[in-house]
């Protein structure tokens, strides 16, 4: 397992892990390889988050893969909102997605999950509110395109 961590504060510098599996995945209609995004995202771009994380405040994970379309949030506004609410410093390695409506965020169990834009892996869920579905602050994602060379170097 290779781990990229650019700083002790994983919430603002980006964290990635590339794991080697014991046998290759069988590619099917429902299991596909992800295309990595090689350019920055754009404010307002509609993207998709997905995962099997909690669906409520209770300790219940979903039995089915859930997904939700969310817009990329303005980076400068994200810096302010996240600092005010979570006390994290958002850097250029992080993108934010979601909006000011509750219910547009991932939950526990979704960490590390994908943010895809135009069918490209654009971000990995990094941080957000502790209370599921109630936050009006966008979620933070490690922006993949900053790490393309590192991923290619460490992926088999």
Tens-digit pLDDT profile for residues 63-100:
888 899 999 999 999 999 888 887 778 889 999 998 77
Pairing of strands 120-127, 114-117: antiparallel
Domain boundaries, the chain: 2-154
CA dist 84 to 43, 78, 112, 126, 151, Å?
Answer: 20, 10, 23, 17, 32
Question: Can you point out the beta strands (E) in 7-148?
Answer: 15-18, 35-36, 46-51, 66-73, 94-97, 114-117, 120-127, 139-143
Q: Give the class (CATH, top level) of 2-154.
A: mainly beta
Residue 18 has pLDDT above 60, yes or no: yes
Q: Which tokens sit at 31?
A: 């299991």
Q: Give the pTM.
A: 0.85
Q: Are 14 and 125 in contact (CB under 8 A)?
A: no
**What does the pLDDT read at residue 52?**
86
Reported as a single tens digit per residue, the pLDDT across 21-77 is 889 889 999 888 889 999 999 999 999 999 888 876 666 778 888 899 999 999 999
- pLDDT by residue (tens digit) across 97-148? 987 777 777 777 788 899 999 999 999 998 887 677 677 888 899 999 998 9
């Amino acid at each position: 397992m290779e781990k990229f961590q650019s700083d002790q504060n994983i919430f603002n510098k980006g964290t990635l892990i590339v794991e080697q599996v014991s046998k290759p995945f069988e590619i099917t209609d429902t299991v596909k390889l992800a295309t990595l995004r090689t350019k920055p995202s754009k404010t307002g771009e509609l993207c998709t988050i997905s995962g099997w994380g909690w669906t409520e405040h209770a300790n219940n994970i979903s039995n089915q893969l859930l997904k939700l379309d969310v817009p990329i949030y303005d980076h400068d506004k994200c810096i302010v909102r996240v600092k005010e609410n979570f006390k994290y410093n958002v850097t250029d390695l992080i993108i934010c997605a979601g909006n000011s409506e509750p219910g547009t965020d991932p939950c526990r169990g979704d960490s590390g999950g994908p943010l895809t834009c135009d069918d490209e892996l654009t971000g990995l869920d990094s941080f957000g509110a502790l209370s599921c579905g109630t936050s009006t602050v966008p979620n933070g994602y490690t922006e993949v395109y900053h790490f393309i060379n590192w991923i290619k170097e460490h992926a088999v």
